[in-house]
């Protein structure tokens, strides 16, 4: 449904995005993963139509989206953007905020729709509270509900859970992304949260300095990590020579996440000295040293500082 090809986009003389192409089908969820300043928000603003794309094209169902130079009011009716600055009205209630995007032709139908969306964002107990009295995270959830009011065909989310506490965030993400799937609403989320990207996206577009660092189905991107930058989104990064784990003399650096190394009861070619054990709930993240280089691995028990131990690759 969405076909995007950005050859180049710049603010003044500074190039922000370059050589980005992808397609998004109906009901699919794409996570745009990248560090701050890599162009994630700019990409969403281009798709929505807030910025003019001179070098490239954006199509929706074979119709080109021409942006602010063509539309008197920037933005497309069938797309909704939830930006980092919440689009909410502070002096009316949560329910009235959501209803402001409804046609107001059938009062009963509108009330049912508002109730449905209050449930999706878990704000049923706050329906009559003025938005000015809500926390930042609650305002963010109001903005999400408003964006869904008219069932957009494409939802653009820019760090949509940044102000929401972990407990509420996990529940909200499940509720929201399940709702989008049930109603075949396509979604693009700009985030730096790899856990969110892995759990809820069909595909990942990873950006670095405004260009594509990796793109593909979520599991494929994760299973084919080939740089420290890519690995850094998913945990601590270990770089080790491959000859440590093989008899072949191959001059190659392996990029390994902590779960890809394991404690060995028998002697191996990789001996490390334990420096610190970080409790992670169901396991410990162990920081160790090998030739003055930090090496991280997971273990089911806390290890004593300065203990020498052996590691092997899973």
Partner residues linked to 254 by β-bridges: 240
In this structure, the strands spanning 261-264 and 308-313 are antiparallel
First to last CA, the chain: 41
Q: Are residues 181 and 309 in the same domain?
A: no
> Going by C-beta distance under 8 Å and a sequence separation of 6 or more, which residues neighbour residue 37?
none
> Going by C-beta distance under 8 Å and a sequence separation of 6 or more, which residues neighbour residue 273?
288, 289, 290, 306, 307, 308
Report the CATH number at residue 306. Answer: 2.40.50
Q: Are residues 192 and 220 in the same domain?
A: yes
> For residue 249, what pLDDT is reported?
65
The answer for 122, left when phi > 0, alpha when psi is -120 to 50, beta otherwise, is left
Which of 177, 178, 235 shows the shortest CA–CA distance to 31? Answer: 177
Domain limit, last residue, from 206, 226, 246: 226
**By residue range, what is the domain housing residue 168?**
2-226
- Give the pTM: 0.92
> For residue 201, what pLDDT is reported?
97
The DSSP element (H or E) to which 294 belongs, if any, is strand 293-299
Q: Are residues 27 and 50 in the same domain?
A: yes
93 close to 133: Cβ distance less than 8 angstroms: no
Q: Are residues 270 and 212 in the same domain?
A: no
- Segment 26-43, tens digit of pLDDT: 999 999 999 988 999 999
298 close to 286: Cβ distance less than 8 angstroms: yes
The answer for 209, left when phi > 0, alpha when psi is -120 to 50, beta otherwise, is left
Q: Are residues 217 and 278 in the same domain?
A: no
293/134 Cα distance (integer angstroms):
47
Domain limit, last residue, from 207, 226, 245: 226
Q: Are residues 7 and 136 in the same domain?
A: yes
Domain limit, last residue, from 175, 203, 226: 226
- Segment 21-80, tens digit of pLDDT: 999 999 999 999 999 889 999 999 999 999 999 999 999 998 999 888 887 777 888 999
Q: Are residues 306 and 184 in the same domain?
A: no
Give the chain's domain count: 2
Q: Are residues 246 and 148 in the same domain?
A: no
Partner residues linked to 18 by β-bridges: 8
Q: Are residues 212 and 281 in the same domain?
A: no
Q: Are residues 195 and 303 in the same domain?
A: no
Q: Are residues 306 and 181 in the same domain?
A: no
Q: Please enumerate, as own/partner, the contacts of 95-104 that have beta carbons within 8 Å and a separation of 24 or more.
A: 95/127, 95/128, 97/131, 97/142, 97/145, 97/146, 98/142, 98/145, 98/146, 98/149, 99/149, 100/146, 101/146, 101/147, 101/149, 101/150, 102/149, 102/150
11/269 Cα distance (integer angstroms):
51
Report the CATH number at residue 195. Answer: 3.40.50.300
Tokens of residue 6, six digits: 């950005």
Q: Are residues 88 and 202 in the same domain?
A: yes
The DSSP element (H or E) to which 116 belongs, if any, is helix 107-120
Partner residues linked to 255 by β-bridges: 239
- Segment 164-196, tens digit of pLDDT: 888 889 999 999 999 999 999 999 999 989 999
Per-residue pLDDT of the chain (314 residues; tens, 9 = 90+): 899 999 999 988 889 999 999 999 999 999 999 998 899 999 999 999 999 999 999 999 989 998 888 877 778 889 999 987 778 999 999 999 999 888 777 889 999 999 999 999 999 999 999 999 999 999 999 999 999 999 999 999 999 888 888 888 999 999 999 999 999 999 999 998 999 999 999 999 999 999 999 999 999 999 999 999 999 999 999 999 988 888 766 678 999 999 999 999 999 999 999 999 999 999 999 999 999 999 999 999 999 999 999 999 98
């Amino acid at each position: 449904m969405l076909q995007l090809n950005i050859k180049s986009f710049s603010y003044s003389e500074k190039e922000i995005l370059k050589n980005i192409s992808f397609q998004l089908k109906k009901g699919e969820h794409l996570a745009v993963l990248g560090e701050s300043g890599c162009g994630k928000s700019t990409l969403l603003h281009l798709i929505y139509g807030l910025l003019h794309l001179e070098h490239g094209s954006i199509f929706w169902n074979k119709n080109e989206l021409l942006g602010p130079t063509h539309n008197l009011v920037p933005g497309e009716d069938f797309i909704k953007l939830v930006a980092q600055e919440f689009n909410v009205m502070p002096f009316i209630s949560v329910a009235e905020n959501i209803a402001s995007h409804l046609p107001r032709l059938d009062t009963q139908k509108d009330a049912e729709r508002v109730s449905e969306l209050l449930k999706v964002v878990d704000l049923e107990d706050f329906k009559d509270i003025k938005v000015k009295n809500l926390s930042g995270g609650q305002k963010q959830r109001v903005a999400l509900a408003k964006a869904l009011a008219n069932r957009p065909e494409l939802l653009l989310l820019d760090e949509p859970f940044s102000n929401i506490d972990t407990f509420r965030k996990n529940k909200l993400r499940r509720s929201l992304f399940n709702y989008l799937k049930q109603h075949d609403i396509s979604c693009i989320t700009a985030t730096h949260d790899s856990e969110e990207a892995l759990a809820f996206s069909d595909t990942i577009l990873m950006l670095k300095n405004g260009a594509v660092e990796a793109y593909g189905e979520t599991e494929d991107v994760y299973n084919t990590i080939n740089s420290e930058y890519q690995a850094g989104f998913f945990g601590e990064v270990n770089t080790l020579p491959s000859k440590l784990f093989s008899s072949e003399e191959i001059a190659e650096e392996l990029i390994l996440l902590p779960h890809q190394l394991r404690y060995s009861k028998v002697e191996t070619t990789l001996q490390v000295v334990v420096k610190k054990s970080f409790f992670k709930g169901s396991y410990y993240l162990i920081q160790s040293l090998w030739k003055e280089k930090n090496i991280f691995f997971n273990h089911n028990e806390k290890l004593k500082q300065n203990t020498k131990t052996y590691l092997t690759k899973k």
